Structure 1
Amino acid sequence: MKILQINKFHFVQGGADRHYLDLGKLLEERGHTVIPFSMRSEKNLPSSYSKYFVSGVDLRKPRFSFSALKIIGRIFYSLEARKKIKALIKKERPDISHLHNIYHQISPSILSVLKKNKIPIVMTVHDYKLICPNYQLFQGSKICEKCKKRKYYQCFLNKCVKNSYLASSVSMFEMYFHKLFKFYEQYVDVFICPSEFMRKKLEEWGMPEPKLAVLPHFLAKKTQALQIPLEDYILFFGRISPEKGLKQLIKVMADL
């Protein structure tokens, strides 16, 4: 089977990228042909499909300028991504597409192209960006659901993205634009949620329930046996940042 794997980074920037790359490797080991579609970057892993990747863009430092206006347009709807994926589909004719994180750098402009070519669309949901402008349902040091019922203006009022009114306003309008045209709800066939909690949260916030499925992330096979002594400790495996809940985990474990 030819599988079109789509993610905005073709290198490990975070957990979503690690999953995207590991899954691609696993699928190839199982005999499938994996076709990546991503963004150009000097950090990218080698790929024979890189000529189809969209041009690179750095969104880390929000500032107002003419070039920034072009980037904002791309965040909402990328004509370049639409053109590039159309060419890739014409060349490779994939059987199915698997989306990971496409927000901002690629945009949902590619979805209608996939649907027009009758390519099924599966999307692994790695965060809460489909319902929350800042991805996290977390603001400051607290869980936040102020944007529920499409009150995305709360993102701007609270400077939820990079503590910047500019970045937050872009994310706010992006959410309103994408929800207005229902790009994801309309075109994606199945949303893969890594946990039942995420599935319930997406359903609660209005994502189409019949399209939500739960499939936990896989783990690589053990390469060697480890001798780990049984001691009184806990292991946290992940990025140390406030939204990961490490402080809460330590508190709960102390009470056990």
Structure 2
Amino acid sequence: MKILVVHNFYQQAGGEDVVFRAETALLRRHGHDVQTFTVSNDLIEQTPRLQAAAQTVWNARMARKITALVREYGSEIVHFHNTFPLLSPAVYGGARAGGAAVVQTLHNFRLLCANALLLRDGQICEDCLGKLPLSAVQHSCYRGSRSASA
């Protein structure tokens, strides 16, 4: 089976990076044709803030890149680990447009919660579930910043 495994590395290494590498090695050991595509958050420092914010929501350029890679490799499946913030949810459509099935491993609650933990002030917080994350902005949930939470 031809599989494309995609990951956005954070600036500080973590468990998602370990799982990405371990899964890729495991799939290869079991005879799968595995290609990888990665980006690193080190690139954020080179991107204007408004552009970075917009691309976090929808990065059409990365979606086109994933479509092209799926077609080039003939990938049957694209397995996404982390898409935040450089890839964006647009890449799922890019994989489908290329003809691949999509798998997403959720390593945290980032798609539902600005701080990815569903915690605030040491307590469970579900204020943003199912609605706009206005509470996250109000409480500066992402890195203690209202603008970054927005």
- The TM-score normalised by the length of structure 2 is 0.89
* Matched position secondary structure for 1:127: coil
CA contact (8 A) 2:71 2:99 kept: no
* Matched position secondary structure for 1:7: strand
CA pair 10-2 structure 1, distance change in 2 beyond 3 A: farther
* Residue of 133, 142, 147 corresponding to 1:152: 133
Q: 2:53 aligned with 1:72, yes or no?
A: yes
> Percent of counterpart pairs with the same letter?
27
Partner of 2:93: 112
Note the alpha carbon deviations across 1:135-167, whole angstroms, 9 max, x for none: 110113222122233151100111111111110
* Residue of 73, 85, 108 corresponding to 1:127: 108
Partner of 1:95: 76
Displacement of 1:103 in angstroms is 1.9
CA contact (8 A) 1:97 1:122 kept: yes
Displacement of 1:87 in angstroms is 2.3
Partner of 1:83: 64
Partner of 2:39: 39
Q: Distance in 2 between matches of 1:74 and 1:16?
A: 21
* Residue of 57, 60, 72 corresponding to 2:44: 57
Aligned AA (1:20): F
Query: Which runs of 5 or more structure 1 residues have no equivalent in the other structure?
Result: 43-55, 60-65, 170-256
Q: Distance in 1 between matches of 2:18 and 2:140?
A: 29
The number of aligned residues is 150
CA contact (8 A) 1:3 1:34 kept: yes
Root mean square deviation, CA, Å? 2.3
Partner of 2:9: 9
Query: Which runs of 5 or more structure 2 residues have no equivalent in the other structure?
Result: none
- The TM-score normalised by the length of structure 1 is 0.54
Q: Distance in 2 between matches of 1:83 and 1:116?
A: 9
- The structure with higher relative contact order (CA 8 Å, sep 6+) is 2
Partner of 1:20: 20
CA pair 144-158 structure 1, distance change in 2 beyond 3 A: same
Structure 1 runs of 4+ aligned residues shifted over 4 Å read: none
CA pair 149-92 structure 1, distance change in 2 beyond 3 A: closer
CA contact (8 A) 2:11 2:40 kept: no
CA pair 160-16 structure 1, distance change in 2 beyond 3 A: same
User: Which has more radius of gyration?
Assistant: 1
CA contact (8 A) 1:38 1:106 kept: no
